Structure 1
Amino acid sequence: MNKELQELIPAIRRFAFSLTGSDHDADDLMQNTLERILDKGVPDDVHLTKWAFRVCRNLWIDEYRSRKVRQDATQKPELQESAVDGDKIITNQITIAQVQRAMNQMPEELRSILSLVVVEGLSYKEVASTLDIPIGTVMSRISRARVAMVNWFKDQDMRIFA
């Protein structure tokens, strides 16, 4: 299981980043996910990848609720990392920031499903199995998430840079 878990680290990290929107918070969430899996183990009848995403998501929900109460300082824009020189790097960072802002406006249930499908490349069936929800719910939430993204960019009079 340790080798499988090591191979999953990049995917867990990407998913954690898509939930948190911060490198530091994503690293913490990934570490907490790995610790939880190593401490508690994986049920015999569950696929490790699906279990890891579920554990990560549940840990984030707990953290997100705690942050709402504490008003965590990492959410302040003045504490975010600054951009690096280079047109392409700056453009990419602007695009990522725009997408993060748009995703942060979505409810967690839409954001996590969009992340699993778009960032992690899971199929709707895999997402349904991972989150233990009907596939129709996944399809509905993906549709609403995409509409929310488009509407957010229209409302902000913005476009995603190519």
Structure 2
Amino acid sequence: MPGVQDEVEAHLKSLRRYACALVGNTADADDLVQEAVKRAIYYCSDGREIKDVRAYLFTILHNVRTDQALKSKRAGTQVTIDDEGPQLPSAASQESTVECRQLGQALRQLPESQRQVVLLVGMEGMAYREAAEALGLPIGTVMSRLNRGRQRLRELMSTDRRPGSGRT
């Protein structure tokens, strides 16, 4: 089990980054990651083995997010007090900051099904097959959602840059 814990620890930054981008704030992201890690360690405590720890962790994270979304839907709309985005590791130039903010806003406008795929493949660098495994989808669905998500992001980002749109 210590080997699995080391592997889990090696993927914490990626899990947290994906969770932050997925849910939009660090507190909820940390809760998602904590639950995913807890479930992975519990699964291994019985001596069971995980072939691909990274894919397994992202699958659990996806499932926890889906469970929470269903519970939230039943509970009604919740408003968060502090809406933090993913943290940049270093200070960016003003132009980069604006572009990152616009990209974050554009990502939040995507349907969650497209956003999940765009984040896993684009931000986390997962292969299509790995993302399909993590999300429990056929690879063709992942490719289709990725294509539609990227196209929608291009549209949203070009709209933000048009003269008169209030943005540069």
- TM class by shorter-chain length? 0.7 to 0.9
TM-score normalised by the chain length of structure 1: 0.79
Question: Does the C-alpha gap of structure 1 residues 27 and 96 become closer, same or farther in structure 2, counting only changes over 3 Å?
Answer: farther
Aligned-CA RMSD value: 2.9
TM-score normalised by the chain length of structure 2: 0.76
Partner of 1:26: 29
Unpaired runs of 5+ in structure 2?
A: 86-90
Which of 78, 93, 97 does residue 101 from structure 2 map onto? 97
- In 2, the alpha carbon distance for the partners of 1:23 and 1:2 equals 23
Question: Does the C-alpha gap of structure 1 residues 62 and 129 become closer, same or farther in structure 2, counting only changes over 3 Å?
Answer: closer
**Are 1:73 and 2:114 counterparts?**
no
1:1-162, aligned counterparts within 5 Å?
1-41=4-44, 44=49, 46-68=51-73, 69-74=75-80, 79-80=82-83, 88=92, 90-157=94-161
What's the CA shift for 1:90? 4.9
- In 2, the alpha carbon distance for the partners of 1:118 and 1:108 equals 15
Q: Among all aligned residue pairs of Structure 1 and Structure 2, give the percentage whose two residues are the same amino acid.
A: 28
What's the CA shift for 1:102? 1.4
Instruction: Report the structure number with the largest CA radius of gyration.
Output: 2
Partner of 2:88: none
What's the CA shift for 1:91? 4.2
Amino acid at match of 2:61: C
What's the CA shift for 1:56? 0.5
Question: Does the C-alpha gap of structure 1 residues 62 and 52 become closer, same or farther in structure 2, counting only changes over 3 Å?
Answer: same
Amino acid at match of 2:56: W
What's the CA shift for 1:92? 4.1
What's the CA shift for 1:41? 3.5
Amino acid at match of 2:79: A
Contact kept, 8 Å, 2:56 with 2:134, in 1: the verdict is: yes
